Amino acid sequence: MTTSIPAQALENMAATYGTPVYVYHAEKIKEQFARLQNAFNKETTTFFYAAKALTNINILRYINHIGCNVDCSSVNEVQLALHAGFEPHRVLYTSNNISFEEIITAKELGVHINIDSLSNLKKFGERFGHSYPVGVRIRPNIMAGGNLKISTGHEDSKFGVPLEQVQEIIDLIKTTNLHIKTLHIHTGSEIKDVAVFAKGLNVLFEIVQEFSEVEVIDLGGGFKVPYKPNEAGTDIEELGRSVNMAFAQYNQTHNRQLKAWFEPGKFLVSEAGYFITKVNVLKENATRNFAGVDTGLNHLIRPMFYGAYHEIINLTNGDAPHKKYNVVGNICETDNFAEDRSLPEVREGDLLVFKNAGAYCFEMASNYNSRYKPAEVLWLNNQAQLIRKRDDMDDLLRNQVTAQF
C-alpha cells in the first residue's frame, strides 16, 4: 500500500498557501515507520529518525507521537528534539568532527552520544571515566551509497574511527575507564543492497568481541526509497529478516543480548514530501523547451548538488500529450531541476510538483538571491495545516546590524 495526497488537495493547498510550498503527508511517515516496525524484531530493534532530513518542529513532534526515537546531527538538533517533547533517553546524538565542548553540552542534556574520533573519546574518558556510557562511530571501510557525496564508510571518508585503529579504542578503555556501550556505523545514503548492511554488521560482530560492555550495535541509516517511477528501494522486509536472524544467532552463540539500532532519515520522510511550484515562463528554443518555475536551487538543491532525480508531475495539465522539457529555476545560476524530462504539455501558470520532497529538501533551503524560504504545510487526517510561514522581508533583515559610516 502507498499513501498519497490527492491531486485536488495539492492544488487547493497551492491556492491557499501560495507557491512554492512544501507539503508533508503525516500518514505516509506513519506508514513507513509501521513498515520498519513490522519488518524488524520489536524486542531488540530501535529506530531513531535522522532528524537532519527534515526538522520542522511539527515533524519532530509527529515522529515522537508515533513512537519513533530521534537521531541528531548537531547539539541544536538535540535542543529541537527536546523542545519537541522527546525525553533525553529517546534522543541520540551522532556527532562528527565537533568540539569537545559540544559533546559536554550533549552529555549535560542527558542524551545518547556517538563519538567519532579518538581525540574526543580520549577527552571524554579522561573527563568522565566510566560514569557516562557512549557509543563510538567506526569507519568500516565499506563503499556504499548512491554517490560519493553521500558515501561515508569508505577508506577515504572523514567519518568515524577507522577499523584499523580499533585497538586504540580498546587501549583508551584501559587507560581512561571509558564506558563504550554502542558500536556505530553509518556507511552512506541510498543503500539498496541488503548485503551491504550484512557486511557492516559482520564487521561489528567481529570487533564487538573485544568490547565486553557494548550492548548496542547501531547500523545507522541509508535505506533507499524509490525516487524514479518503478525504481526499487531497499527491501526492508528482507533486511529485517536478515538482521533479526543475525542478531538472534550472534546472541545465542555468544551469550549476549546485543540490540540493534537504526537511524533512518530518507526512509521515513522522503516520500511524504511534495514540493509544489508554479511555471512562470516558457521558452521554446530550437533544441530545448524550458519550463521556468518560481523556485530554484535555493529551495531544492538535490538535483544540482547530487544529480538527484525527482519525479515531476504536471498537476494542472496531467492529461495533455507529453513533450520534453528542461525544468529550470529562477536563480541567477544554471539550476536545472530536470533535463529533457517528458511531461504532459506545460503551460505558463501550471503547477509542477516535485515528489520525494520530504528529505533533505526544505532542510537544505537557503535565502540565496534574497528569496524567501517556502512555507511548509502538514497534511494530516485529510486536512492541511500551515506549519511554517513563508519568509518575509523581516526574515531577510533579521540579525543584520546597521554599521555606522
Ligand X SMILES: *Cc1c(COP(=O)(O)O)cnc(C)c1O
Residues that bind ligand X (CB under 6 A): 50, 52-53, 71, 73, 94, 186, 189, 220-223, 263-267, 359
Other CB atoms closer than 10 Å to residue 322's CB: what's the count?
A: 11
Give the residue with the Cβ less far from ligand X, 146 or 292. 146
Nearer to ligand X, 30 or 224 (CB): 224
CA distances from 276 to 85, 375, 377 (A): 30, 10, 11
Return the residue matching grid coordinates 503525516.
Answer: 26
Q: Which is nearer to ligand X, 222 or 329 (CB)?
A: 222
- The nearer residue to ligand X, 351 or 361, going by C-beta atoms, is 361
Q: Which residue has the cell 524486542?
A: 43
- Cell triple for residue 314? 504536471
Q: How far apart are CA 161 and CA 60, in angstroms?
A: 30
Alpha carbons 224 and 86: distance in angstroms, whole number: 26
| Sign of the torsion angle spanned by Cα atoms 240, 136, 185, 30 | positive
Q: Of the two residues 201 and 351, which places its CB atom closer to ligand X in the complex? A: 201
Strand partners, 184: 137, 218
Between the CA of residue 95 and those of 69, 259, 308, 390, what are the distances in Å?
A: 17, 21, 25, 30
Question: Contact, 219 vs 171, CB < 8 A?
Answer: no
Minimal distance, residue 194 CB to ligand X, in Å: 15
Tell which residue, 54, 89, 94, has the closest CA to residue 71. 94
What SS3 class is residue 200?
Answer: helix
Q: Cβ of residue 37: shortest distance to ligand X, in angstroms?
A: 16
| Phi and psi, residue 371, nearest 5° | -95, 155
If the CB atoms of residues 14 and 50 are measured against ligand X, the closer one turns out to be 50
Name the pairing type of β-strands 161-162 and 134-139. parallel
Cell of 115: 563519538
**Spatial CB neighbours of 131, under 8 Å, sequence gap ≥ 6:** 179
Q: Which lies closer to ligand X via its Cβ, residue 98 or residue 359?
A: 359
Consecutive H or E run containing 7 = helix 7-17
Q: Which residue is nearest to ligand X (CB)?
A: 265
Least separation, in Å, of the C-beta of 359 and ligand X? 6
**Active-site annotation, residues:** 332
Q: Measured from the CB atom, is 40 or 223 closer to ligand X?
A: 223
Bridge partner residues of 284 (DSSP): 289
Which residues make beta-bridge pairs with 322? 344
- Say how far apart CA 78 and CA 105 lie, in whole Å: 10
Q: How far is the CB of 79 from ligand X (least distance, A)?
A: 18
Looking only at the bridges linking them, the beta strands covering 45-50 and 259-262 are parallel
Task: Report in angstroms how near the CB of residue 186 gets to ligand X at its nearest.
Answer: 4
Cell of 53: 532530513
In the complex, what is the shortest distance from the CB of residue 152 to ligand X, in angstroms, rounded to a whole number?
7
Cα separations in angstroms, 365 against 53, 101, 326, 362: 12, 28, 21, 5
